[in-house]
Amino acid sequence: MSPQRSAAGGTRLPFSLARRARFTLGAAAAVALLGSLAAAVPAGAASNRHPEGWTQVRPLSPSARDLLAEATARSPSVRSLVQQIEESDVIVFFTLRYARYQTEPRGQLRFMTRAGGYRMLLVDVESWYSDRLEQMAMLGHELQHAAEVASAPEVVDEAGLLALYRDIGREMQRGHFETALAASTEQMVMRELLTES
Ligand SMILES: [Zn+2]
């Protein structure tokens, strides 16, 4: 079993919550990534708005918007998490990412910044090796982490995020954390997608 495989289900902190961590972007790179995406997709761009009028889970591309729309339409668990985030001071920017290697994380969450009374997170979901159902289940997994952050007002930076996951998570490998609830949410979403009528 390779070190990467043993990290499956783990989360790398301080900068990300990764299911399979191989490497992660540092904070500066993540901020730069958000900046460039924000420039490419103006905040509130009509094409990325959610049909339900939700505003705190913000897809950064049309394909991310489509995945979010499908996941909220098909999975009560994803819908409930989006609603939970909507009622919090957390904003989740959401993007899809093509992994170069199969061992890269299938989902990640980073703490971006605090501004205007909101705590901003960036979630990405891998979309090259993961099929659509897996992407929606992983979106549910990462939204569960976002809800965990939403419930922890003391998390206002990356150090706080690390402290939270040292507290509520299990360190799968040095710097890689996971919570049982995120893993079970992912499974629940997959069940909902497979058994919906
Ligand atoms: Zn996780």
Spell out the per-residue pLDDT of the chain, length 197, in tens: 333 333 334 444 434 444 443 334 344 444 444 444 444 444 444 556 666 788 999 999 999 999 999 999 999 999 999 999 999 999 999 999 999 998 888 999 999 999 999 999 999 999 999 999 999 999 999 999 999 999 999 999 999 999 999 999 998 877 678 999 999 999 999 999 999 86
Distance 22 CA to ligand 1 centre (A): 14
CA distance 147 to 178: 14
Return the structure tokens found at 18.
């990764």
Instruction: Name which of 32, 34, 14 is nearest 24 in CA terms.
Output: 14
Distance 149 CA to ligand 1 centre (A): 12
Beta strands in the chain, from DSSP E residues, in sequence order: 57-59, 90-97, 107-115, 118-126, 170-173, 176-178
Q: Let me know: does 85 contact 115? Beta carbons within 8 Å.
A: no
pTM of the model as a whole: 0.77
Distance 197 CA to ligand 1 centre (A): 28
CA angle (140 as vertex; 165, 50 as ends), nearest 5: 120
Distance 183 CA to ligand 1 centre (A): 7
